[in-house]
Amino acid sequence: MPKKLSQFSLRDLLVVGLPLLLAVLGAFYIASKFIKPAPPSTLIMTTGGETGAYRIFAARYRDILSRYGIELTIDPSAGSSDNLARLRDPGVAVDIGFFQGGSAQAGDDETLVTLGDLYYEPLWIFYRADLADEQPLDRLAQLRGRRIAIGGPGSGTQVLARQLLSASGVEAGNSTLVESGGLELAERLRSGRIDAVMTVGPTESALVWTLLYTPGVRLMSLAHAEAYARQLPFLSNLVLPRGAIDVGKEIPVRNINLLAARATLLAREDTHPALLDLMMQAVSEVHGSSGLFQRPGEFPRASLMGADNFPLADEAKRFYTSGKPWLQRYLPFWAATLVDRMLVMLLPLIAVVVPLARIAPSLYGWRVKSHIYRRYGELKFLEAEFLEQPGRHTPAEWQARVDEIEAAVNRLRSPLTFSDMLYTLRAHIVLVRHELARRTVESRNENS
């Protein structure tokens, strides 16, 4: 029974296909090393005091992230400096945290990135009204010798307060610097147990709002605000307009010159990119509107002062340049994240699979044809040898060599696609055999 005809040669297919398959698998393996893992469902944020603005904003972030199935865990802290210490400590389970510009500098081997400026954080200086005679206090030097609350240990308020007081000649040697913060300072100031309170935060801060409405407490307008801002570039000179807090009660009673740092978010550089993308959308939603000290769309923004040399996260750069990630504009977060991860696998498909798919048929054809070309070569060399040295072998030996080539050709398992070449070779073998026989007969006739 004749063997079944085949459309392809399994042996040649394996010889050509296996190396190509290994190349494709190798390309996908290499690409798999660059696939980002799926984003975790939890993000841990270090904030600040329970009644501070950081805690308020973090709660708003949490509500936004919950829409995308991400749980934001809020971890209270002492403030900006404490947040920075936590983020830098690999033993502390935290991913992201608030930071007050100017309270610290990035290190040479910094592992944190910034998401940019979020909003202005004014420095509010409240003092007892009975400290001023006729004119309100407007210089920090006037607090010399007083009991001044400068914020708790680990807070950005204390760092900034010490800088400004020291520049004004107010130090621990000539004044009482109280390392304390929190809402209870309002009662201590009202009751006369302290003379002044310095606190950093937006008007949403519980302490700031309370002191603005506390009788017998005044808000200092800094006469040297612009001078401080020139000396400390991370600060801005802001003006709180008369009546901006409450027009009916006329709070404040005059324009107030304030100094303000800029709040930002710092994140560990290994925080999942998809979560940073979501955080950029959250901060834009929370801080993008207008306020007492900002125009609509002014925040968030890339840090003007480089966020104290902390590098801007790649996700933040992309957000400030082109907005929301393209995939998330059209797909749910989970789907956009999945597609983004899978796009890495398209690289080997484009760079390896597509070119190999184009050359694979040619390689396979060359492999099959090479068997036929090899026999063609043997036949050609035999014919040339016979023409040059016909007496080298007997006629029977010449025919035997032709028979060997023909037998080898008959053993070839060529696919149907290349059958025409195989039959052509067989016809050429017959022609060579007849040519050898004809020349042998002519040679005998000449010799006889």
Q: Indicate whether 342 pLDDT > 70.
A: no
Evaluate if residue 94 carries a pLDDT over 80.
yes
Q: Hey, which bits of 176-283 come out as E strands?
A: 176-178, 196-200, 217-219, 236-240, 256-268
Is 403 found in the same domain as 307? no
Same structural domain for residues 293 and 378?
no
Query: Phi and psi dihedrals of 136, rounded to 5?
Result: -65, 155
Q: Does any domain span residue 442?
A: yes
* Reported confidence tier of residue 34, pLDDT bands at 50, 70, 90: low
CATH of the domain at 305: 3.40.190.10
Residues 22 and 47 in one domain: no
| 306 and 410 part of one domain | no
Residue 78 lies inside a defined structural domain of this protein: yes
Q: Write down the mean pLDDT value for the chain.
A: 85
Alpha-carbon span 54 to 51, nearest angstrom: 8
Q: Does one domain contain both 19 and 54?
A: no
- Co-location of 318 and 217 in the same domain: yes
Are residues 236 and 157 located together in one domain of the fold?
yes
Indicate if the pLDDT at residue 1 is higher than 70: no
Whether 338 is in a domain gets the answer: no
- The answer to the question of residue 334 being in a domain is no
341 and 152 Cβ atoms separated by less than 8 Å = no
pLDDT score, position 306: 47
Asked if the structure places residue 361 within a domain, the reply is: yes
Q: For residue 133, what is the DSSP state?
A: S
Q: Is residue 141 one of the residues assigned to a domain?
A: yes
Is residue 308 in a domain?
A: yes
Q: Of the candidates 253, 371, 307, 355, which has an alpha carbon nearest to the alpha carbon of residue 104?
A: 307
Domain that holds residue 381: 10-26+344-447
Determine contact, residues 252/219, Cβ cutoff 8 Å. Answer: yes
362 and 442 both lie in a single domain: yes
**Confidence grade of residue 135 (pLDDT, cut at 50, 70, 90):** confident
Q: Do 303 and 363 reside in the same domain of the chain?
A: no
Looking at the structure, do residues 137 and 263 belong to the same domain, yes or no? yes
**Rounded Cα gap, residues 214 and 249, in angstroms:** 12
Residue the block writes with tokens 């029977």: 396
Write out pLDDT tens, residues 35-44. 666 788 999 9
Number of domains in the chain: 2
Phi, psi of 128 (to 5 degrees): -70, 135
Query: In this structure, are 362 and 259 located in the same domain?
Result: no
User: 98, 75 in Cβ contact below 8 A?
Assistant: no
Whether residues 192 and 272 fall in one domain: yes
- Summary count for the chain: helices (H), strands (E): 15, 10
pLDDT at 325: 75
pLDDT of residue 198: 97
